[in-house]
Amino acid sequence: MQLESDRVAWHSSKVSKQSRQLSNGHGSCVLWFTGLSGSGKSTLAAELELALHELNCKSYVLDGDNLRLGLNRGLGFSQADRSENIRRIGETARLFVDAGFITLAAAITPYQADRELLRTRFGQDEFIEVYVRCAIEECERRDPKGLYRKARSGEIRQFTGISAPYEAPRHPELEINSEKVTVAESVSILLNYLRSRGCLPAEGKAGG
């Protein structure tokens, strides 16, 4: 069997990432939200997306749950399937970063190896790991989708933190403790961080 590379040629775009960023008036990158189920990743990503939209910045959330209903349909929760799930979200995020978006990926991403591999797929300074930290006791108390209850009863298996591992990030660019910081404060922290990295206009509105 031949390799794909034998019959697949790269087609270059005539519109560069830099040209898109110039047109948008801001940089592009991915913020990768990792953390336990119920830690607040999706909520935070959705609020940041809204805040960026109101600043006229192009932003888009790639939500792990949502993608499991589309692009990643059919994948389960074994380590191999989780890795493939994350790999595909990462490859999609690359496309969005190339398209000029501040891309917000929200997915548990429990394995350190997967996160390290992700990082290699992006340019320097393009991959920003955001650890949404929350004690599992608090996640279980919140249990927004009733999943911890199902995991405890054995109704669902391979559940992160209960019956599957979560390897906490060692050196994330940002760590947000969702037990101590409100969503609004977290959005503010993230906007300031993006600004400090030169990804957002210093002031005023982007676009053009």
Binding site for a second copy (CB under 8 A): 1-2, 4-15, 19-20, 23, 42, 46-47, 49-50, 53, 56, 58-63, 65-66, 68-71, 73, 75-77, 88, 91-92, 94-96, 98-99, 101, 106, 145, 147, 150, 155-157, 159, 207-208
78: region left, alpha or beta (phi > 0 left; psi from -120 to 50 alpha): beta
Nearer to a second copy, 5 or 196 (CB): 5
Smallest distance from a second copy to CB 42, Å: 4
Smallest distance from a second copy to CB 2, Å: 6
- Exposure string over 85-120, b if 16+ CB within 10 A, otherwise e: bbeebbebbbebbbbbbbbbbbbbbbbeebbeebbe
Nearer to a second copy, 156 or 181 (CB): 156
Using only the alpha carbons of the chain, give its radius of gyration: 18
| Distance in angstroms (rounded) separating the CA atoms of residues 79 and 42 | 22
| Distance in angstroms (rounded) separating the CA atoms of residues 103 and 32 | 8
Is residue 106 within 8 A of residue 45, CB to CB? The reply is yes
Smallest distance from a second copy to CB 185, Å: 18
Nearer to a second copy, 57 or 199 (CB): 57
Nearer to a second copy, 157 or 170 (CB): 157
| Distance in angstroms (rounded) separating the CA atoms of residues 34 and 133 | 8
Smallest distance from a second copy to CB 145, Å: 5
Nearer to a second copy, 163 or 170 (CB): 163
Beta bridge partners of 63: 106
Smallest distance from a second copy to CB 144, Å: 8
